[in-house]
């Protein structure tokens, strides 16, 4: 009778622990779903920005070449700021970081989901590395080149076009260096 009572107590205790773990897992999954829903929206917005940068660059590349002409000055003034951006992907990761930091990721029963969640921070890190490269290219090469080549007052966001310096758009579009930087 005592043995049966002890085994029953262990069984009830294990059932209770499992029930609590499942409740914690459910709460974690709900919080992760909310975070990843927001991350998906951020990724969609990020993708739209990246697509608009690529589209503007492709249009500009269509104008470059050894026989380019300056007929695109106004359009280039509008598209230059579109390529001179570095988008910033910041997915909400609070729940995931808390689960990883506390070791509670083990509450998630699905091996494949646990593996995907554990790898997500490294995937975001790769995106951040690409963003960092883009920022270095923009601020280290593209802006310095544009500063030497054209009056940014005519080309930058919010530029008033009030400069007295000439804009050699034709020279810019005929520049192999400019084409390579846009590429």
**pTM for the complete prediction?**
0.74
pLDDT confidence of residue 13: 55
Along the chain (183 residues), what's the average pLDDT of each consecutive run of 10 residues?
Answer: 48 55 79 88 93 95 90 83 89 91 86 88 94 93 89 67 78 93 93
The secondary structure of the chain as a DSSP string is: -HHHHHHHHHHHHHHHHHHHHHHHHHHHHHHHHHHHHHHHHHHHHHHHHHHHHHHHHHHHHHH-STT--GGGHHHHHHHHHHHS---------HHHHHHHHHTGGGG---HHHHHHHHHHHHHHHHHHHHHHHHHHHIIIIIHHHHHHHS-HHHHSTT-----SS---HHHHHT-HHHHHHH-
Q: Which two tokens stand for residue 14?
A: 């294990």
The helix-helix angle for 94-102 and 111-137 (nearest 10°) equals 120
Alpha-carbon distance 153 to 163, whole Å? 6
């Amino acid at each position: 009778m005592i043995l049966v009572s002890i085994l029953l107590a262990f069984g009830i205790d294990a059932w209770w622990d499992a029930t609590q773990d499942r409740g914690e897992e459910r709460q974690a999954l709900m919080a992760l779903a909310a975070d990843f829903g927001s991350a998906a929206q951020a990724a969609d917005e990020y993708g739209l920005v990246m697509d608009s940068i690529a589209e503007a660059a492709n249009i500009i590349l269509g104008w470059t070449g050894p026989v380019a002409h300056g007929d695109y000055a106004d359009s280039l003034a509008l598209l230059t700021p579109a390529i001179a951006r570095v988008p910033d992907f910041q997915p909400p990761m609070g729940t995931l970081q808390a689960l990883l930091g506390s070791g509670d990721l083990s509450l998630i029963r699905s091996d494949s989901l646990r593996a995907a969640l554990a790898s997500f921070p490294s995937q975001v890190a790769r995106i951040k590395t690409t963003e960092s490269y883009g920022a270095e290219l923009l601020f280290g090469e593209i802006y310095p080149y544009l500063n030497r080549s054209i009056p940014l007052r005519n080309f930058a966001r919010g530029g008033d076009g009030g400069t007295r310096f000439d804009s050699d758009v034709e020279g810019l579009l005929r520049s192999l260096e400019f084409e390579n930087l846009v590429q």
